[in-house]
Chain A
Amino acid sequence: MRQILQVFLFSLVLSVCQYTLAEDSSNKHEKEFDPLEMISHHISDSHDWHIISYTNKADEHVNISMPLPVILLHNGKLHFFMSSEFEHGNAIVQKGDAYFKLYHNKIYLTNANGDLEFDAENHPKNEHPFDLSITRNVGSMWLSVILILFLFISAAKKYKGEPQTPKGLQSIIEPLVLFVRDDIALSQIDKHKIDKFLPYLLTVFFFIWINNLIGLIPIFPGGSNLTGNISVTMLLALITLFITNVNGNKGYWKHIFWMPGIPVPIRAFLAIIEFIGIFTKPFALMIRLMANITAGHIIILSLFSLIFVLKSVVIAPVSILMGLMMFMLELLVAALQAYIFTLLSALFIGMAVQEDEH
């Protein structure tokens, strides 16, 4: 565990050391501030980990960011290089006979000149290689994982030996763990069945919560919109869907396809609805988490964009005050959404495994 941590930190330091100082020719300071572009850039994934941008004395726009590894699968071949080779979309990367170009944080296959063909809606029509890159979100997720593992494993180590009262880290971790066990798992799932599902519920709760919190940190390495990314919420919702249906007992399936105590024609009708319900429940989980977290990011970024849109310092106190309020609210939402996701997962699992009482 400690070695993994050391390797990660070492590689992090190495990467930061070779940060790219790039002069962004397209971003001269005369350019109008575009809040939409800024916000969409912040809430979507990225191939480099932005640290800071500023305009230096020579009036050049300087972008300091940590390059991230790009892993591409194209024509059965795996290409591996650092995202700094793209030079923020200005350079075309040639690997074998394939040319790759970064455009709005997406990698496209191009010809040797790097030409992109655009459709009517101004989206490039070029093909994508299969992108397995370590993006900002993946990096942020690994950071959160290290934090989670460190917190919980070091707390768990203190439980060896005779029963004792919780001390230090334990006294923070334990109430949270017991909260998930008693108020989420035990309230929804039969007591003798929770042991099987508790590890998932605990992991998903802390995974979402800590990633929500990391997303709220405005400076490097926080601020990634990981739990507001549909890929992540979809995966978590799919795991809940999988666990629910794999563990669903006879009563659960009977209630879906042949609801007892109801006239037969309605049973058939209900079966269709219930069957769709299997998928709409996790779908709602996916959308709810993603929308809540993304919305929080958008609101906070919009409030601060106001200063630059109105080009006035006077609006700054208002933005900061409102931003502060939103941050407070988002702190609540971070915990609340983790709670809701976990509670509903527990509810679905609980319904699938409950003993038939009819």
Chain B
Amino acid sequence: MGLLTPDPGLVIWTFFTFLLVLFILKKYAWKPILHAVKVREETIQFSLEAAAKAKKEVEKLEQTKTEMINEAKAERDVLIKEAREIKQGILEEAKSKAQEEANKILENARVLIEREKNEAVQDLKSKVAALSVDIAGKLLEQELETTDKQKAIIDSALKEVNFN
């Protein structure tokens, strides 16, 4: 049967053509393509590994950063707390001191006033005594005259008195 009989001419042409194609493609197509693909695969592999490594490093850095931030925060809190305490202390001390001072000043003022008052009273007393004696002298002077006159004397005497 013709269909199953190989044709030597076609076999020979196919042989040469196929070998030629095989060698040309091997040199100019398969080698460059396969090599480039291999290089690319290796590059990708390498890049992926490098990326994973970098990611790990970044994570580590991130962790360190977080730790540092937390530490700083804690330290800040402590500092703020201390500062607040110190402020409170200072304020209280200042307050108590001011109070003390104010009390002292008040006390001094009171003492001074007391003293002044006493002095004034003393002064008034002595003046009143002198005035009383004076009035009594004038009264005694006028006893002998009319009662109306005496009354007028007392009034005039009183008018003369200046209590200051």
By a beta-carbon cutoff of 8 Å, the part of chain A in contact with chain B is: 40, 43-45, 71, 130-135, 137-138, 141-142, 145, 148-149, 152-153, 155-157, 159-160, 163-164, 173-174, 177-178, 181, 195, 198-200, 202-203, 207, 229-232, 234-236, 239, 294
Contact indicator per residue, chain B 1-30, by CB within 8 Å of chain A (1) or not (0): 011111111111111011011101110111
Decide yes or no whether B133 CB sits under 8 A from chain A: no
Complex formed: what's the CA distance from A137 to B6 in Å? 13
Decide yes or no whether B32 CB sits under 8 A from chain A: yes
Complex formed: what's the CA distance from A235 to B4 in Å? 13
Partner of B37 from the list A45, A132, A177, A195 (CB cut-off 8 Å) is A177
Decide yes or no whether B144 CB sits under 8 A from chain A: no
Decide yes or no whether B121 CB sits under 8 A from chain A: no
Q: Do residues A230 and B9 form an inter-chain contact, with CB atoms below 8 A?
A: no
Interface residues of B in 33-55 (CB under 8 A from A): 33-37, 39-40, 43-44
Q: Do residues A234 and B29 form an inter-chain contact, with CB atoms below 8 A?
A: no
Of A71, A141, A155, A235, chain B has the most CB atoms within 10 Å of the CB of A235
**B28: which A residues are within 8 A, CB to CB?**
152-153, 156
**B43: which A residues are within 8 A, CB to CB?**
163
Partner of A141 from the list B17, B33, B35 (CB cut-off 8 Å) is B17
With A44-B2, A163-B43, A230-B6 known to touch, is A142 a contact of B11 (CB < 8 Å)? no
With A142-B17, A163-B40, A203-B25 known to touch, is A231 a contact of B10 (CB < 8 Å)? yes
Q: Do residues B10 and A138 form an inter-chain contact, with CB atoms below 8 A?
A: yes
Of A163, A177, A181, A202, chain B has the most CB atoms within 10 Å of the CB of A163
**B2: which A residues are within 8 A, CB to CB?**
40, 44
Q: Which 10 A-B pairs have the closest CB atoms?
A: A159-B36, A152-B29, A163-B40, A231-B10, A199-B26, A156-B32, A156-B29, A231-B6, A131-B9, A138-B13
Taking chain A's interface residues, is the majority helix, strand, or loop, or is none over half, making it mixed?
helix
**A231: which B residues are within 8 A, CB to CB?**
6-8, 10-11, 14
Taking the closest CB of chain B, its distance from the CB of A242, in whole angstroms, is 11
Complex formed: what's the CA distance from A231 to B8 in Å? 7
Taking the closest CB of chain A, its distance from the CB of B51, in whole angstroms, is 16
Q: Do residues A234 and B6 form an inter-chain contact, with CB atoms below 8 A?
A: yes
With A199-B22, A230-B4, A231-B6 known to touch, is A134 a contact of B13 (CB < 8 Å)? yes
**A138: which B residues are within 8 A, CB to CB?**
9-10, 13-14, 17
By a beta-carbon cutoff of 8 Å, the part of chain B in contact with chain A is: 2-15, 17-18, 20-22, 24-26, 28-37, 39-40, 43-44
With A44-B2, A198-B34, A294-B3 known to touch, is A203 a contact of B10 (CB < 8 Å)? no
Complex formed: what's the CA distance from A57 to B108 in Å? 148
**B15: which A residues are within 8 A, CB to CB?**
235
Complex formed: what's the CA distance from A133 to B90 in Å? 117
**A145: which B residues are within 8 A, CB to CB?**
17, 20-21
Other CB < 8 Å A-B pairs besides A149-B24, A174-B33, 20 of them? A43-B3, A44-B2, A45-B7, A152-B25, A152-B30, A156-B30, A159-B33, A177-B33, A177-B34, A200-B22, A202-B25, A203-B21, A203-B26, A207-B21, A229-B7, A230-B5, A230-B6, A231-B7, A232-B10, A234-B11
Partner of A178 from the list B9, B29, B37 (CB cut-off 8 Å) is B37
**B20: which A residues are within 8 A, CB to CB?**
145
Q: Do residues A133 and B21 form an inter-chain contact, with CB atoms below 8 A?
A: no
Taking the closest CB of chain A, its distance from the CB of B40, in whole angstroms, is 4
Of A148, A156, A198, chain B has the most CB atoms within 10 Å of the CB of A156
Partner of B10 from the list A40, A135, A152, A202 (CB cut-off 8 Å) is A135
Complex formed: what's the CA distance from A142 to B21 in Å? 10
Residue in chain B with minimal CB distance to A235: B14
Q: Do residues B25 and A130 form an inter-chain contact, with CB atoms below 8 A?
A: no
**B7: which A residues are within 8 A, CB to CB?**
45, 131, 229, 231
A sample of 12 inter-chain contacts (CB < 8 A) reads A40-B2, A132-B12, A132-B13, A145-B20, A153-B25, A198-B30, A198-B34, A199-B26, A203-B21, A207-B18, A229-B7, A234-B6
